[in-house]
Amino acid sequence: MRTGLCTQQPARFGTFLLAVGLTALLCVGGIAACAADDDAVRPLVDEIAPAVEAVEAELGGPQQYFEINATPQFVNLFVAVDGATQVRAYVFVDGELGPPKPPEAAEGATFEASQLRFDPDDVLDGVAEELPESDVVVFSVVGGPGGMVRYGAVVESTEGGQLDITLSPDGAVESVDAL
């Protein structure tokens, strides 16, 4: 079973991420609708590393994450707490780490930041090549089975449809599902 914002999640953790994800998509959708044709809406993928550094500095060292995702406005970090039975969400906006949300029940696979193997400059290039008339509204990194890390993107077409795209670390499109 895949976990994360853009996919099926375990019931308890999935509801939390779905609410956060839908809020992010609604915010991004408004911006995407107002953007000029030559203004590409892209998630702040290059802000993931500084966001992780901020969380780990705040918490005193490496953490386990259920998910990290980036939108065009901010980075969300879902930190596993209490033996990965709960999640505490942080938001990183304009170079600043906001206060954590209260912990909520969670389950699912986790990963450490040391497992991240993508290049923020290239990871969305495959999507841009294959879907040039679409906007990437969320980029996500999600813990998978056996310690795997999964990369994905939610793409919104100019026609209004959305796709859930699984990416390789180098940005190659591995699979596409309609949302």
Q: What is the pLDDT of residues 27-67, one digit of tens each?
A: 444 444 444 344 567 999 999 999 999 999 999 999 999 99
Q: What would the pLDDT profile of 108-129 be if each residue is shown by its tens digit?
A: 999 999 999 999 999 999 999 9
Helix (H) and strand (E) counts for the chain? Answer: 3, 10
CB atoms within 10 A of CB 67: 30
Q: Write the CA distances from 111 to 34, 63, 96, 131, integer angstroms.
A: 36, 8, 23, 29
**What pLDDT does 39 receive?**
57
**Are the C-beta atoms of residues 177 and 163 closer than 8 Å to each other?**
yes
Determine if residue 84 is left, alpha or beta; phi over 0 gives left, psi from -120 to 50 gives alpha, anything else beta: left
- Amino acid residing at 177: D
CB-based burial of residue 96 (10 Å sphere; 0-12 exposed, 13-18 middle, 19+ buried)? exposed
Q: What is the pTM of this model?
A: 0.79
Report the distance separating Cα 95 and Cα 172, nearest Å: 29
Closest residue by Cα to residue 49 from 111, 138, 110, 114: 114
Q: How confident is the model at residue 138 (pLDDT cuts 50, 70, 90)?
A: very high
Closest Cα partner for 152 from 177, 134, 115?
177
Planar angle of CA 118, 120, 121, nearest 5 degrees: 120
Asked if residue 20 has pLDDT above 70, the reply is: no
Cα 10 to chain center, whole Å?
A: 17
Q: How far apart are CA 95 and CA 51, in angstroms?
A: 8
Share of residues in the chain with pLDDT > 70 (%): 78
What is the rounded distance in angstroms from the CA atom of residue 167 to the CA atom of residue 141? 10
Rg of the Cα atoms in the chain: 15
